[in-house]
Structure 1
Amino acid sequence: MVFCNTTPFIALASIDRLELLHQVLGTISVAESVVEECEQGGPIAVPGLRSLPWVTVYSDLPPKDWSAVLDLDRGEQQTLLLARHHGSDLVVIDERRARSLAEYLGLRVTGTLGTLAKAKACGLIPSFREAATAMRDQGMYYSQGLIDRLAHRLGEAGGFSS
């Protein structure tokens, strides 16, 4: 079971490649609060998650004694709570604090760039670097150094800095 937070949906929608989540990771589970965050809209439109046959929506859980997640936004909180509650195999989340907490909770973590890297390795996209750069051009923040390192590992030349 794979749980995904809001940002990967927005980032991949920004380059019209939302389907990569499903193609790379299979069925994607999301918290109700992630659906709501995507529905709120913004500069990048995300299709209604409920309309995607490969997305399963779970009701939000009460935070209970999870004081560690209270400083995260609601989507991040619920992604981690539900992933932990359902024994998730993987969490797709980009925000650094949420990733660190997910790892602390024993969850396996990837992000949008990891998903793109796997898509490139599977031949689903022609260039990891071009896709990552296109997301940055749409206003998504990803470290250029991380993009360069991942592109280098995938055999894409140019821009690598150590």
Structure 2
Amino acid sequence: MVTLQIVDHKNYPRNSLLLSLDEGEKHTLEAALFHQADYVIIDEKLGRNLAKCLGLNVIGTLGILLKAKQQNKILSFVDCVKGMQKRG
């Protein structure tokens, strides 16, 4: 079973590999490293690649939705994806 933990932004230790990322991805990876997260949720290719280089397990939004469907947490994977596409 996958659980999700949301953490507040803190001044996590900086990693020079993360300088090329936008602020959101940078903070996500810093928090994941600091908290020794089992997974990190990132959709952008550069962020995913850097996360893997840092030894983090990566899952994207679609992966989360797929797991939610497999665990009967959502009724329709397709409807969720269409809803996300509508909202941009």
Q: Which has the higher contact order (CA 8 A, sep 6+)?
A: 1
CA–CA separation in structure 2 for the residues paired with 1:92 and 1:31 = 15
Question: Greater strand share, 1 or 2?
Answer: 1
Task: State the TM-score, normalized to the length of structure 2.
Answer: 0.86
4+ residue runs of structure 1 moved beyond 2 angstroms? 24-27
Quote the sequence identity (%): 42
The number of residues matched between the two structures is 88
Larger Rg: 1
CA–CA separation in structure 1 for the residues paired with 2:4 and 2:56 = 18
Corresponding residue number in structure 1 for 2:11: 60
Task: State the TM-score, normalized to the length of structure 1.
Answer: 0.50
Shift in Å, 1:60 = 2.6
Question: Greater helix share, 1 or 2?
Answer: 2
Corresponding residue number in structure 1 for 2:28: 79
Name the Cα RMSD after superposition: 1.6
Contact 1:30 1:79 in 2 (8 A): no
Shift in Å, 1:109 = 0.7
Corresponding residue number in structure 2 for 1:94: 43
Corresponding residue number in structure 2 for 1:108: 57
Q: Any stretches of 5+ residues in structure 1 without a counterpart?
A: 1-23, 33-58, 140-162
Secondary structure at the residue paired with 2:6?
A: strand
The answer to whether structure 1 residue 130 and structure 2 residue 79 are counterparts is yes
AA paired with 1:87? Q
CA–CA separation in structure 1 for the residues paired with 2:2 and 2:8 = 17
